[in-house]
Amino acid sequence: MRFLDTVSIFVLVTNFFSPVLFAQSVSEQRRETYYQNLEARARSLSQKLAEISGTEPIPFHSPKRSVLSTMETNPPNASPQTAYDSLPGPIVEPASTPAPQSETLYRADGTPVILQAAPTTSPAIASPPSSVPKKRAIRRNMEKERGAYFIQPFVGVAVPPSTQTFKGLGGDASIETEIGNAVGLSFGRRWDNLEGEVHLGYINSAYGDISLPTSILPDTADGQLEIFQIGARVGYGIPFGEKGWFRVAGGFGFASRRDVINILNSDSYLSSETAFTYDLLLSLGYEVGMGLDAFLAYRLLGVSENGNFDSVAMHLFQVGLGANF
């Protein structure tokens, strides 16, 4: 009797707890499936991150599940910081020194991107050019290379016009002229390449036969033209080569002009007056040593009229040896 009672009680307990045990088994299966799905998704994401970053995927070591618990136990010495450090990250490459006035950013894979400043045309904010400045050529200086003062004596030839006009013999008579000579002295001061000078000179030229308006053939005559001149010039000198120089100058002055003509078997005519002069100078020189310069010069000298003798313009070719100090 007791055995039957005991069996009946076991059957009743079994029928009562069987739904509960079955429900627990189903719940454990669902939970296991859920965790397996999560692990599969994690493995897939780990594989994709590894392909993007170029690293190895995170290893998943799933310990054997226990019947009593499906939760994984943390390995010894594990911590949240260790788990965070084990996550894959970008490969940081040593970045090269960026150019001035630029900003460096990095892509997701770690490669640097340099952002240059936008070009501008505004003079207020435009950066100065980085080109090497050009070297300026040093301008040569006559005052430093030759000296502040100079004195230049000269001699030369005077080439007047082929004929000189004389008025007062019933018309304009034409007097033949000859090549003459010239001698003089110049004294000047230099300021850098600018020059100023005062010069003195004497020019002499002979007269020949005269053609009168009343005669067919020229009459025999002789005479001369004399000019004592003083004037001032302003010029500019340019050194060239090691010892050479070139200068140009122009100026004005006054002269005591004396003209005389003696006509054979006739009268003589003489006139002496103060005349106005102008001259232009081109000169080429070379230092020969000890502060001395040898030079050649061309002058165009113009002298106003003197009584019945017309104005004259003559060419002077000069040579000299000057000193610098």
Task: Please identify, among 43, 65, 87, the residue that sits at the C-terminal boundary of a domain.
Answer: 65
Say whether pTM exceeds 0.85: no
User: Is residue 84 included in any domain, yes or no?
Assistant: no
Range of the domain at 228: 142-324
User: Is residue 52 included in any domain, yes or no?
Assistant: yes
What radius of gyration, in Å, describes the C-alpha atoms of the chain?
Answer: 59
Query: What pLDDT digit, counting tens, does each position of 27-56 carry?
Result: 777 878 887 888 888 888 878 877 787 777
Task: Please identify, among 35, 65, 95, the residue that sits at the C-terminal boundary of a domain.
Answer: 65
DSSP of 160-181: --SEEEEE-SSSEEEEEE--EE
> Number of structural domains, the chain?
2
Task: Please identify, among 39, 65, 91, the residue that sits at the C-terminal boundary of a domain.
Answer: 65
Q: Are residues 172 and 273 both part of a single domain?
A: yes
What CATH code is carried by the domain that includes residue 233? 2.40.160.20
> Quick one: pLDDT band at residue 69, thresholds 50, 70, 90?
very low
Q: Which residue has the higher pLDDT, 147 or 113?
A: 147
Q: Are residues 46 and 160 both part of a single domain?
A: no
Cα 60–chain centre separation: 70
Q: Are residues 173 and 273 both part of a single domain?
A: yes
Cα 62–chain centre separation: 76
User: Is residue 132 included in any domain, yes or no?
Assistant: no
Query: What pLDDT digit, counting tens, does each position of 233-270 carry?
Result: 999 999 999 899 999 999 999 999 999 999 888 889 99
Q: Which residue has the higher pLDDT, 301 or 52?
A: 301
User: Is residue 303 included in any domain, yes or no?
Assistant: yes
Q: Are residues 172 and 304 both part of a single domain?
A: yes
Q: Are residues 176 and 279 both part of a single domain?
A: yes
Across residues 276-281, what is the average pLDDT?
96
Q: Are residues 215 and 311 both part of a single domain?
A: yes
Other beta carbons within 10 angstroms of residue 304's beta carbon come to: 16
> Quick one: pLDDT band at residue 25, thresholds 50, 70, 90?
low
Q: Which of 93, 95, 113, 90 is nearest to 103 (CA)?
A: 113
CA distances from 10 to 19, 42, 69, 155 (A): 15, 47, 28, 159
